[in-house]
Amino acid sequence: MFKNLSVNRRRFLYISLSGLAGATAIIVGKDKLIMSHSQAVDNRNRDFRVAGLAPLKKRAAAKGLIYGAASMQDFLLSDKNLETNFVRECGILVPENELKWDALRPSPDKFDFAKSDWLAQFAQRNGMLFRGHTLVWHQQLPQWFKEVVNPQNAEKFLVEHITTVTKRYAGQIRAWDVVNEAIEPNDELPGGWRRSPWLEHLGPNYIELAYQVAAGVDSKAMLVYNENDLEYDIPHQEAKRTLVLKLLERLKSKGTPIHALGIQSHLRGGETRFNANKFRKFLNDVASLGLKILVTELDVGDRNLPADLARRDRIVAACYEDYLSTVLDERAVIEVLTWGLTDKYTWYSQFLPRSDGKPVRPLLLDSNLKRKLAWNAIAKAFDRAPKR
């Protein structure tokens, strides 16, 4: 492995037992390879070491950032090990599913807050912030929705839902993803809107209405527009960034009470088309509107990566660090949430499994809740981020 070490250059070999990551990384030489922004390159010598054992929430807070993750009541109730690690690492909790329509609305005239209340109390008793996802989305609408909601009553249902839910958590919730994923150029609708029952029944003004209602009930919550597929230098995502920016400019120009853009950040391990300069420009354009920016659902899909665990974990970790080092350069970015904490509970298992059937490894703790290189990568990105 060291046959090509040049003798005329000072090199030293040291072994960093990144035991926390459950891996031993051998780092050679002071002139570590400077990673290009390719996320597919697997650099065996990449240095993921971090100083100390401090949890991510502490490292984030040291820079004026908040780190946390999504989880579900089922997981936190049944898995003591998850609870322990979640409380240690996270400064904020977002319910993965319990604040969506299909979880809250068993019938047109009923709300069921049992699970979301439990999560709000879990956050509170563990000194965590709490964020809401999501008040208006085209997915996870309850079975009755299609039969009951129509152009005549859609506004009533939208206003009643947002009013009831935001009132219940006013004072407990830091932020709401008020509208989620409203833009989809591939749907080929004028304005690049995503096809959704809300757009169908109410037209694009459903978006502004949602923010006005939420702000009217909870004037303290940070109201967020949350979107996916904004990260890569590919035509579809470039188009989405342009359309999202236009939407945000329009909302701001009309005085709509919107405070932040949520960039979901479901990254693709092995995807090389990430242009840091272009993405920085987009972040800056959003910040110039006076908006904060949140990384709301960060994870790294590994379905297209090699089966070998060490290689897969290195590429996933590099993806986390490369992305976060770009994003955290923008001081308007104030929060980073991963969509889950451990490979044991990730949406990828159900929605984007690997073709070889091997368990997916998109997150920062493995399925035994041990820290992986991805944990090191996120810790390193926080440690190196500029202070807010």
Single residue of 71, 237, 264, 338 touching ligand G3I by CB under 6 A: 264
User: In Å, what is the CA distance from 190 to each residue of 1, 131, 184, 258, 287?
Assistant: 57, 32, 10, 23, 26
Residue of the chain from 38, 43, 97, 367 that contacts ligand G3I (CB under 6 A): 97
Residue nearest to ligand G3I (CB): 347
| Minimum distance, C-beta of residue 35 to ligand G3I, in the bound complex (Å) | 27
42, 297, 322, 343: residue in contact with ligand G3I (rule CB under 6 A): 297
For 144-198, the DSSP string reads HHHHH--TTTHHHHHHHHHHHHHHHHTTT-SEEEEEE--B-GGG--GGGBPP-HH
Cβ proximity of 45 and 32 under 8 Å = yes
Catalytic residue among 181, 184, 271, 335: 181
Which of 42, 89, 96, 227 touches ligand G3I (CB under 6 A)?
96
With beta carbons less than 8 A apart as the criterion, state whether 93 and 128 touch. yes
Residues in contact with ligand G3I, shown as a per-residue x/- string from 41 to 80 under the rule CB under 6 A: ----------------------------------------
Contact assessment for residue 361 and residue 309, using Cβ atoms and an 8 Å cutoff: yes
85 or 264, CB closer to ligand G3I? 264
Report in angstroms the alpha-carbon separations of 42 from 17, 99, 275, 294, 317. 19, 38, 18, 28, 10
Q: What residues between 224 and 263 interact with ligand G3I by CB under 6 A?
A: 228
Is residue 139 a contact residue for ligand G3I (CB under 6 A)?
yes
Is 321 noted as a catalytic residue in this protein?
no
Q: Which of 89, 208, 227, 297 is catalytic?
A: 297
Please say which residue, 270 or 362, places its beta carbon nearer to ligand G3I: 362
Q: What type of residue sits at position 261?
A: L
CB of 340 to ligand G3I, least distance (A): 8
Say whether 343 sits in a helix, a strand or coil. Answer: coil
- Please report how close the Cβ of residue 174 comes to ligand G3I at its closest, in angstroms: 18
Size of interface with ligand G3I, in residues (CB under 6 A) = 8
Alpha carbon 245 to chain centroid, angstroms: 19
CA distance 89 to 72: 16
Site for ligand G3I in 310-349 (CB under 6 A): 347
Annotated active-site residue 238? The verdict is no
* Interacting residues with ligand G3I (CB under 6 A): 96-97, 139-140, 228, 264, 297, 347
Give catalytic residue positions: 181, 297
